[in-house]
Chain A
Amino acid sequence: MTNDIIILPLVVHLFFSILLMFFWNKVNFQKIVSVVGNAVALGVAIWVFIFVYNNGTYIVESGNWSAPFGIVFVGDMLAVTLVLLTAIAGFAVSIFSTISVIKARLRFGYFSVFHFLLLGLNGAFLTGDIFNLYVWFEIIIISSFVLISIGGEKNQLEGAVKYFALNFFASMIFLTALGVLYGLVGTLNMADISLKIAEVENRTLVEISAVLFLVGFGIKSAIFPLYFWLPASYHTPPSAVSAIFAGLLTKVGVYALIRVFALIYGGDSFLTILLLTLAILTIFSGGVGAIIQNNIKKVFMYFIICHIGFMIGGLALYTEIAMAGVIFYLIHDIIIKTNLFLMSGLIYRIKTTTNMKKLGGLYANYPKLSLLMAIPLFSLIGIPPLSGYWPKISLFLASFNAEEYWLFGALVFGSLITLIVIAKLWSEVFWKDQPQLDFPKKFIYFNQLRFGQKFTFIFPVAFLTFVTLYIGFGAEHIQQLSQRIATELMNNELYINAVLKQ
């Protein structure tokens, strides 16, 4: 059994998504199965993580075809860490979905598609073959199209059309890049490409394929000129769906960028300048976008964009310290962004709105809950010793060492604007008096729920907050882990030797 342990996270999600299809109309049963499935997936992910942590990079060759010819699944530290984070976020969101997503939506196979989405994410993280990566990306986007349009409300469909068009376009660009790259090196295995790309004489075409990859992944991860679909679509589906999108879908784009640029195009000077410029502009535009928004969901969406810039900037520096910072930031960001959208769902359930102008008095009504929500918000700013603080040290240090003062300035600006916006949000939502509102009568308010239902609402938020606290207070472990991943990323030979068994 331990021979193929790496693909177990995929098998678990595939099994549960198919199982859920057999209970299409039994929504209540589906809820239980899905939560159990995600708990199993979390257990498996922890097992895989510990296995790889102790034994080093582990690969599975599909159909026993050896590496450059067959498709391989590579469980290196970066991949299994992200699989673990996916499992944590998926577990929290599945619990939150059972209570916050209405039955009319759940009846259309919500949970089944949700497991397919997680399957696609795990596959994208684990695969070592670039065409296989494309296929997993397609599984991710097809599932996300269904999740974003399920329910068919007016603004949801509008968001879905924009989301669909841009993501499809991104996939096509990715496929184009892949075609060009295949034409140059004649192989699809990422480790093999990494070896052969150095021998290619036509460097212009190599750079063209790199820029095409950057555009394809850039649309998915919402970097500067390509992010406009994100604020137009991410707030339209239910909060549980937004949470999984915010936490993981943009991050899978960042993961693909890290993987492709570290392994294939490492240290190309033209790309470094391009990535650096884009990172600075992403931080600025995301930050400025966040400050003018009034809807808390939209504020959080612009934070996604702003903080993607942090990671891209670190990737552009391409030193070991910077990469450690990027990986730490990625770990912190997945958990925190998922949690922020779950919180916005919780606030909506309490107050029937997510507009800051209409919100207020949350601290007076729910002091304990407000304190719970304060932890992720403060972690997002990076108040020491919470989780956002530690990766920023590495990123600041790396940008200072590399004498990239524009990036340094952008990082400071991004952190500062996060602080300002969170301060504004805190005073508007939690401290301000509740403005007079005409509340809809049919709405089921949070305080009308039974204890068990309240618990189901709060548990995922508390669970993710606990994980955030662990990342903050157990920063030493996470920093060691990030440094180990960064070393693996900077020394390609480790990955290549493991895959090609040289």
Chain B
Amino acid sequence: MEIILAIITGVLYASGVYMIMRRSMVKLILGIILLGNGVNLLIFLLGRITKGEPPIIDSAEKVLEGVYADPVPQALILTAIVISFGLQAFAIILVKRTYKVLKTDDLDQLNTTDEDS
């Protein structure tokens, strides 16, 4: 299981970075989404995967004993997912506005800021 997740994480990172480096702004958004998912999977993986051991304390006991899945990474991922949703929504609107104003999807055309004014 770990090996599959590790490969998937690697593929998501690689494809995300590749897409960010493309010239098209739509691909930039796709890259951002892929990279965000890759990061989430990485945190999930590094929190150690434990099968079928939910971290719930029995009503009879006071502390959790034995092997259990770490709940912290899941809380982290949940937070990270919500944040990246917000950012992706903003990115889509931003790119749409930029496309409307500049009439181009090519990041290389965005060079008026480098001129002196």
Contacts and interface: CB of A to CB of B under 8 A. Distances in A.
Q: Are the chains A and B members of one assembly?
A: yes
A233 B111 CA distance: 11
B55 to A, nearest CB: 13
A226 interface: no
B67 interface: no
Interface string A345-374: 000000001010000000000000000000
Q: Report whether over half of chain B's contact residues are helix, strand or loop; otherwise say mixed.
A: helix
A434 B80 CA distance: 53
Contact of B80 (A142, A157, A175, A180): A175
A142 B89 CA distance: 11
A53 interface: no
A168 interface: yes
A161 B111 CA distance: 11
Contact of B39 (A162, A179, A294): A179
A221 interface: no
A124 B47 CA distance: 24
Nearest to B76: A131
Given A135-B79, A155-B113, A182-B46, A149 B39 contact: no
Given A138-B83, A152-B101, A188-B72, A165 B28 contact: yes
Contacts of B102: 154, 157-158
Contact of A176 (B39, B47, B101, B112): B39
Nearest to A235: B113
Contact of B94 (A138, A157, A232): A157
Given A179-B39, A179-B42, A154 B20 contact: no
Interface string A3-29: 000000000000000000000000000
Given A182-B47, A236-B113, A157 B42 contact: no
A159 B97 CA distance: 13
B86 interface: yes
Contacts of B114: 231-232
Contacts of B39: 172, 175-176, 179
B117 A142 contact: no
A-B residue pairs, 5 tightest by C-beta: A183-B46, A179-B43, A158-B110, A157-B98, A175-B39
Interface of A: 131, 134-135, 138, 142, 145-146, 149, 152, 154-155, 157-162, 164-165, 168-169, 172, 175-176, 178-180, 182-183, 186, 188, 231-233, 235-236, 293-295, 298, 353, 355
